[in-house]
Amino acid sequence: MHYTFTKHLAEILVQEARTDIPVCIVRPAIVTGAEREPFPGWIDNFNGPGGFFVGVAKGIVRCCYTNERGTLDAVPIDHVVNLTLAAGYRLGSGSDDKNNLKVYNCSSTEHPVVLTKLRQTVLESCGETPLNEIFWYPSIVFVRSWLVFTILNFFLHYLPALLLDCLNRLKQRKSKVSLLRIYKKIREMGVSLEFVQRTYFSFKTSNTADLFKQLSPADQDDFNFDIQGVDMRKYLKNCIYGYRCYACKEKDEDLPTARKNFMRYRKIYYSSLCFLLMGVVSMIFGLLR
């Protein structure tokens, strides 16, 4: 929780400085790809849920310790920029009381992304615009039980990673990527975000809504930050494509090959499940005899 703690300290400093200079505070939630500007889905890093999205698309992240009935409070990066510009303009115009520190929460609390729908949309996008190189067929399980997650984490993450890393060593391949190291980093990140992932936060957005209403229709279109007008399903699909195109630097010309590779892993995945199910059924019948 060091991140939120240091942000709170920064807000205290801003509050102390407001007697000397006009200030306001813009608080964004989890910042994700752009809705419209400069391009739909544009993003140039893997911060926030970007690493999770790409991990799922790569077939690396297969289980997550969270409440599937929870929500993701995500906002487009261009909404954050537009709100900051509008808040600064209002502050500079002298419309606000200098003794009253205005806080503008840029949040999707009133238009949240439910995690079950997020999972469905992400997996759909993984099939429509797959990444060029994947480790396995993309799938993700949300688990609320720590015990169940620990078991799944071992069998779905650590055991395959250990086998692949050992196989690379036996074949004397100098792999630039160690899956065990990747899962260790993912686990460390999961521990640090555990409280945020499993806790529901509700942020008041009345100041933000009032500011948007005060803009002219032309400014509302040019500097849009109305989260309730966003088609979240379409937006999330654009984000997945944006991570593929702008963050992973993969080209559209490679999509046909990527789709063939994706379908190959899909056949292997479902064939493996069928063989596993047949093995379990035969084992049960063998025990009952």
Which among 229, 228, 222 is positioned nearest to 37, based on CA atoms?
A: 222
Q: Which residues contact 48 (CB under 8 A, 6 or more apart)?
A: 30, 31, 32, 74
The model's pTM is 0.82
Q: Which residues contact 270 (CB under 8 A, 6 or more apart)?
A: none
In this predicted structure, what is the pLDDT of residue 149?
A: 87
Rounded CA separation 191/188 (Å): 5
Which residues make beta-bridge pairs with 113? Answer: 72
Burial class (CB in 10 A: 0-12, 13-18, 19+), 27: middle
Rounded CA separation 209/236 (Å): 23
Rounded CA separation 99/97 (Å): 5
In this predicted structure, what is the pLDDT of residue 98?
A: 65
Please state, as a whole number, how many other Cβ atoms lie within 10 Å of the Cβ of residue 47: 12
In this predicted structure, what is the pLDDT of residue 83?
A: 94
Between the CA atoms of 130, 134, 139 and 141, what dihedral angle is there, to the nearest 10 degrees?
Answer: -130
In this predicted structure, what is the pLDDT of residue 81?
A: 94
Q: What is the pLDDT along the chain (289 residues), one digit of tens a residue?
A: 567 788 888 888 888 877 777 888 899 988 888 998 888 989 888 877 888 888 888 888 888 888 878 888 888 999 999 999 999 888 888 766 666 788 899 988 888 888 888 888 989 898 888 988 888 889 888 888 889 888 888 888 888 888 877 877 777 666 566 777 777 777 777 766 667 667 777 888 888 989 999 888 999 889 998 888 888 889 989 989 999 988 888 888 888 999 999 999 888 888 888 888 888 788 787 777 6
In this predicted structure, what is the pLDDT of residue 95?
A: 65
